[in-house]
Amino acid sequence: MAKRNKITIVGSGNVGATAAHWAVTKELGDVVLIDIIDGIPQGKGLDLFESTPIEGSDCRVLGTNDYKDTANSDVVVITAGSPRKPGMSRDDLLNINVKIVKAVTEQVAKYSPNSILVIVSNPLDAMAYVAQKVSGFPKNRVVGMAGVLDTARFRTFIADALNVSVKDVSTLVLGGHGDEMVPFPRLTTVGGVPLTELMPKDKIEKLVDRARKGGGEIVNLLKTGSAFYAPGAAAIEMVEAILKDKKRILPCAAYLEGQYGAKGIYLGVPVILGANGVEKVIELKLNEEEKAALNKSIQAVQELISKIQL
């Protein structure tokens, strides 16, 4: 008999709890919600478990403070960390979250040594790097979630502006997850038609800018906390690609060894995501403008990573 997949989600704040919700709705497997705060994962986990008869989803949901309960997970989503507060940059979070992600990764690697890690904690590219170094897992088994979210934001704004289905908008956002992210209008199509044929350049630029600042826009509106519905959904899209071996081409933060001129860092690039995690990094031919933008992003990530003390 096939056993159910096991998904652990570390951190049961808004992003973690919402990711758990999406995972259960898609019936991807049993979910363990873990957090250091007593009662929060247990309460949210039980509430979610009680929704399964309504959804018709046969998934068990367990909330816990004990990493023993996470043993033998197939995929572990790490959302733990301090969220951004208004006026805070993702870099301000660096030192606080390095400690948190390091502690979490040590526990996860101990109890689920064969798992694939999907990192959501910010600053994203740096935290994926920390998780890979601390776990000692091969690079394909540690991947960061950013590009799927940034791309979803860009797709949302394009579909809204053109009044078309979001399903028909295909695009890529590469680079570090931050203000240096690089949307690619040249590679953006709507139902196979290039975006550049459907929209003037100045309008595209406005949407690019909004996608870049998408996270900050929500932080400013909420005033306390940051986005969670779309980040949760984006993480679970990646989890689904891994658990169902979908071989999806998705923009993810992957460890680079010379691709795009970057070495020894995590950066958002198109990858094939399947049962082995990052199965391939796809290297695109970039024009000069795109290269310059991506290099700026690479420098920003390298700078962050150089500040990390493990």
pLDDT digits (tens, 9 = 90+) for 150-209: 999 999 999 999 999 999 999 999 999 877 889 999 999 999 999 999 999 999 999 999
Range list of H helices, 136-244: 147-162, 201-212, 214-222, 229-243
Give the chain's mean pLDDT. Answer: 95
Which pTM value belongs to this model? 0.96
- Closest C-alpha among 84, 153, 98 to residue 128: 98
Residues 124-157 as b or e (16 or more Cβ within 10 Å = b): bbbbbbbbbebbebebbbbbbbbbbbbbbbbbbb
Q: From CA 216, how far away is CA 224, in angstroms rounded?
A: 12
* CATH for the stretch 147-306: 3.90.110.10
Q: Which of 79-93, 118-132, 205-219, 236-250 has the lowest mean pLDDT?
A: 79-93
Q: What is the dihedral of CA 246, 252, 256, 261, to 10 degrees?
A: 120
Q: Which of 130, 177, 232, 294 is catalytic?
A: 177
Smallest Cα–Cα separation from 227: which of 156, 299, 301, 300?
A: 156
177 has catalytic annotation: yes
Sign of CA dihedral 178, 175, 128, 270: positive
Here the tokens at position 230 are 């779309």
Q: What is d(CA 35, CA 209) in angstroms, rounded to the nearest whole number?
A: 35
Residue among 18, 24, 19 at smallest CA distance from 58 = 24
pLDDT computed for residue 90 by the predictor? 63
Domain 6-144: CATH class, spelled out: alpha beta
- How far is Cα 182 from Cα 194, in angstroms, rounded to an integer? 18
Task: Give residue limits of the domains in the chain.
Answer: 6-144, 147-306
**For residue range 220-239, what is the model confidence (pLDDT) as tens digits?**
999 988 899 999 999 999 99
Instruction: Judge if 6-144 and 147-306 fold alike in CATH terms.
Output: no
Select from 125, 132, 141 the least CA-distant residue to 266.
Answer: 125
pLDDT of residue 1: 62
